[in-house]
Chains A and B, each alone.
Chain A
């Protein structure tokens, strides 16, 4: 006889672990699987997350995973003019390094962060299997679903009432359910970043706009702790004939930061695809919901996905707790309530941001588009931004 769980979660990133942890805290029997041997690696993310995002889902900012505290933003246009949004100056009684004051956010080590979140889930009672790959799922007449897994080469079938696909942008779970998960080339930013030594930073997330440096996206310089920095960018491949590697070299050698980067030494190379896209229109099916990148819970303006994964995971975990209380069938219709709740809490705002983003990148005139992006980014990170908490 196969093992039986209330919920199986595939993918142990911020969204999957948060869903699993909250479901387990509500006394559900949860299995969390991930095909990797160590989480978070290879890193495909810059690691910036607000303090609010962690606190809202009950995660203490722990030195185990924090690279460096962040106090604000510096938004640049193509030529180097910039708007500094430093909360140490804007709200000096609240934000700062000294005792009693707080950071605005953090740059985290995704290897340590994802492992920390998994640990919290395990402590809440979640069973975790690493080196375990999901192969398929099949709803059955009894109202459950059968999930085929492979764990250290061994085929295992698990029964569950609900499968949670938290398997990232490369989501296979969504495809199993036949959901239209396909993302357009112009909406997936091709990203590359270097962790570097000998580039100074000042507790701010620096965002550099401009078609010359990052067509269809932006470049960034983030503090990475221990005196290191992270230099990265994402480009829309439909807007340039060059790849991200060419663009990052061009940015480092030819931009207004060329002197600053002159002595930089590369310590790590990371990349990834970041969706600057709308959330998935259908994030549910019979016995199934999707969370995090798999549901494209990513901010379409910033490409930020940790906060949205944590919040989405919390919504999913609470939805599942409630769903199991009701003792109703896991039909597609009943699973839809998850998406409805998510839209109210987060999704509708993300759709609005997507419209803002689309308007910018549909603008044909490059200087006009660059100005729109610079203004939007500057407004987005201002203290009075209506989108501050996404």
Chain B
């Protein structure tokens, strides 16, 4: 998959230790955070550098390709 394809992250909450490393490494703009102090999981990441997956000490972050008709991606297109 091209790294430029927007992705949606999934977090395996069972392994997540809430260490904050994914947010610390994330180059996204302010606010790309979940209510559980991880990277956001409810909207696409258009950078898709995936370094949050690398930094995670317990490797509990994965991703799927974001659907092109996701409302946030649609909104970005229109702007």
- B12 on the A face (CB < 8 A): no
Which residues of A are in contact with B by a Cβ distance under 8 Å?
42, 44, 168-170, 172, 175-176, 182-183, 185, 188, 190-192, 237, 243-245, 269-273, 275
Chain B proximity of A310: nearest CB distance (Å) = 20
Nearest A residue to B51 via CB reads A185
Chain B contact residues: over half helix, strand or loop, or mixed?
Answer: loop
Asked if A188 and B30 make an inter-chain contact with CB atoms under 8 angstroms apart, the answer reads no
Contacts of B25 in A (CB 8 A): 183, 185, 188, 273
Contacts of A169 in B (CB 8 A): 20, 23-24
> Please, how many angstroms separate the alpha-carbon atoms of A190 and B20 in the complex?
10
Determine which residue in A169, A269, A273 has the highest number of CB atoms from chain B within 10 A of its CB, and name it.
Answer: A273
Which residues of B are in contact with A by a Cβ distance under 8 Å?
17-21, 23-25, 27, 29-31, 33, 37, 51, 54-59
Asked if A269 and B17 make an inter-chain contact with CB atoms under 8 angstroms apart, the answer reads yes
Chain A contact residues: over half helix, strand or loop, or mixed?
Answer: mixed
Contacts of A237 in B (CB 8 A): 54-55
Contacts of B30 in A (CB 8 A): 172, 175-176
Contacts of A44 in B (CB 8 A): 19-20
Nearest B residue to A43 via CB reads B19
10 A-B pairs with C-beta separation under 8 A: A172-B31, A183-B24, A183-B25, A185-B55, A188-B25, A237-B54, A245-B58, A272-B57, A273-B24, A275-B24
Contacts of A191 in B (CB 8 A): 19, 21, 57
> Please, how many angstroms separate the alpha-carbon atoms of A273 and B21 in the complex?
4
Contacts of B19 in A (CB 8 A): 42, 44, 191-192, 270-273
> Please, how many angstroms separate the alpha-carbon atoms of A19 and B36 in the complex?
27
Contacts of B33 in A (CB 8 A): 170, 172
